[in-house]
Amino acid sequence: MAPPLLHLRDIRLTFGGRPLLDGAEIAVSAGERLGLVGRNGSGKSTLLKIAAGAVEADEGERFVQPGATIRYLPQEPDLSGFETLRSYVEAGLAPGDDAYRAIYLLGSLGLTGDERPGSLSGGEARRAALARALAPEPDVLLLDEPTNHLDLPAIEWLEAELRRSRSALVLISHDRRFLQTLTRATLWLDRGKTRRLNQGFGAFEAWRDDVLAEEERDRHKLDRKIEMEKDWLRYGVTARRKRNQGRMRALEVLRQTRKDARGPQGGVKLTVTEGETSGALVIEAKRVSKSFGERPIVTDFSTRIARGDRVGLVGANGAGKTTLLNLLTGQLAPDEGTVKVGSNVTVATIDQRRASLDPDMSLRDALTGAKGDTVEVGGQSKHVVSYMKDFLFEPEQAGSPVKALSGGERGRLLLARALAQPANLLVLDEPTNDLDLETLDLLQEMIADYPGTILLVSHDRDFLDRTVGSVIAAEGDGLWTEFAGGYSDMVAQRGRGVDARAAASAPSPKRRSSEVAAPSPSKKKLSFKDQHALDTLPKTIKALEAEITRLEARIADPALYTKDPAAFAAATDALGKAQAERAAAEDRWLELEMMREELAG
């Protein structure tokens, strides 16, 4: 195995008297694809910050190969001090990096680069931070939840971009499909320690379950041994006569071992409060249309949703998914057409913006409606603190304001509140945001067991495949089409995934429009010199690529530097020169090709 570019060894960090990291390790070699997984609160983001050098551990060693470049995408980027997004992204480039790539990435993520950081939404700030991390094409990319706030077209674009990248990846994500596509090894952070599986995320969950089952068997054996020793202490003849101190000390060691063996972190307990049974027909929409100004959101859409249906809504950000939800549930009147909501339909909603949460309200009041200390769940009265524990909240958080919660905690709070409401129609608008994999599994099981009807908006392709029976997809210009099955079935029937909005189309990666002179109106064709360059540059680029491949293979020989340092240095210089020549040739060819297209047009 190649020597690591980045190595964390025996990392220890304590928060509030409890060890968060207790001997964690990461080793990242060139080109590696590593998924970092674990429960919310297990310390994944903290470990990634230590790897990036943004946080210092209490103990342990951080090693970075000399000359290796590392870029880090935090969950909450800081854009202060920059006039525009373009200046923010370009500030992350090193000398020799391609400035055109920064513009290309901004455009691909739906940004122009002229936006002011102070006026951005949280999603736009994260997309700008993603462009800044990807632009230099570093040796190691540390990405903390890169798909947060991205829609399906952007997620699939990012997947393709990372698959093409030569950078090593360390990736935190709760998007199963994203992890399965990109990872080749998995690092599990659990109870402060890391365990490595040299397979991608697709093999991780079965392996994790085997590890936990083996731990449970070991704990059971230890418990039995402790009981045997306690019996000996009570009834053994030798014990009564001589009080065998060695054996008693051994019993104390067993007890301490059992005490120190931290079990897996508790899981969320999802209990649904069922409302009255609705009628067989829950929603019927006939030729519904809705526009805002001159922009059509929904055009001539019809559907019938029966009791027990699970319907997913997919589309790019801004396509109108939330508007369509509001039309179907009767919260918004259509411009044309009719929507009929069936009899005895009661709705519980989780909204993507968490807008229904009062940031100044305490957790206790958010769950009880400021009416005492109990919650009605599943027809039974339950103390609010006990109900909070089902969703992994600590008792001392009962009086904490909602604004003090993390994104994942707010997601769990909304789940807790929605599931306590008597309802037979659950409207889930991006419920998977910030939830860990185990909670997603439980939410999936709850959806499967729920006796009522569910409308689900999500950008999580795997979650859609596991939960819905049909998908309503945005086709653009207000058109929506319903497909049987999950997201993968929709792709198979439609021939493609969710379409990106035209406004988010990317500019060329190698050209700034302001830097290529427009041809003179009187000019009808390229000059002989320019046409010759356009014809011959592809061969030049191909020859340079072959030379770059040859030099990279020569430099990769571990014996070259030892045997002949001068030859190694010469090959390194030649590689840099060839890469610069290729970049210049590509820039020139693209410039000429654009000029040719403009003249032809």
For residue 318, how many C-alpha atoms fall within 13 Å in the half-sphere facing its CB? Answer: 13
Amino acid letter, residue 405: L
Residue 357 DSSP one-character state: S
- The answer to whether 315 is a known ligand-binding residue is yes
Q: What is the CA radius of gyration of the chain?
A: 29
Residue 40 is labelled as binding a ligand: yes
Dihedral, CA atoms, 595, 596, 600, 601, nearest 10 degrees?
-30
Q: Which amino acid is at 336?
A: E
Distances in Å between the Cα of 288 and the Cα atoms of 296, 474, 501 are: 11, 14, 22
Block residue for tokens 């609705």: 278
Question: Beta-carbon neighbour count of residue 117 at 10 Å?
Answer: 19
Is residue 399 part of an annotated ligand binding site?
A: no
Ligand-binding site membership of 39 (annotated): yes
Distance CA 88, CA 367 (A): 41
The whole-angstrom separation of Cα 150 and Cα 127 is 8
**200 a known binding residue?**
no
What one-letter code names the amino acid at 426? L
Residue 424 annotated as part of some ligand binding site: no
Contact 439/391 with Cβ under 8 angstroms?
no
How many CB atoms are closer than 10 A to CB 540?
16
**Nearest-angstrom CA–CA distance, 486 and 470:** 6
Task: Give the H or E element holding residue 2.
Answer: none
Rounded to whole angstroms, the Cα distance separating 536 from 400 reads 68
DSSP tag of 532: H
First to last CA, the chain: 54
d(CA 428, CA 451): 15
34, 170 in Cβ contact below 8 A?
yes
Residue 291, annotated as binding a ligand? no
Annotation-wise, does 43 bind a ligand? yes
| d(C-alpha 480, C-alpha 301), whole Å | 7
In this structure, the number of other CB atoms found within 10 A of the CB of residue 174 comes to 23
- Give the DSSP per-residue string, 88-136: HHHTTPPTTS-HHHHHHHHHHTT--S---GGG--HHHHHHHHHHHHHTT
Q: Is 192 annotated as a binding residue?
A: no
DSSP one-letter code for 371: S
**Token representation of residue 250:** 């051994």
| 198 assigned binding-site residue | no
User: For tokens 């899981």, what's the residue?
Assistant: 267
Who's near 381: CB < 8 A, 6+ residues apart? 374, 375
Q: DSSP 3-state assignment of 295?
A: strand
Backbone angles phi, psi at 365, to 5 degrees: -70, -35
Q: Are 38 and 14 in contact (CB under 8 A)?
A: no
Q: Is 60 annotated as a binding residue?
A: no
Q: Is 38 annotated as contributing to ligand binding? A: yes
Binding residue numbers for ATP? 38-45, 315-322
Binding residue numbers? 38-45, 315-322
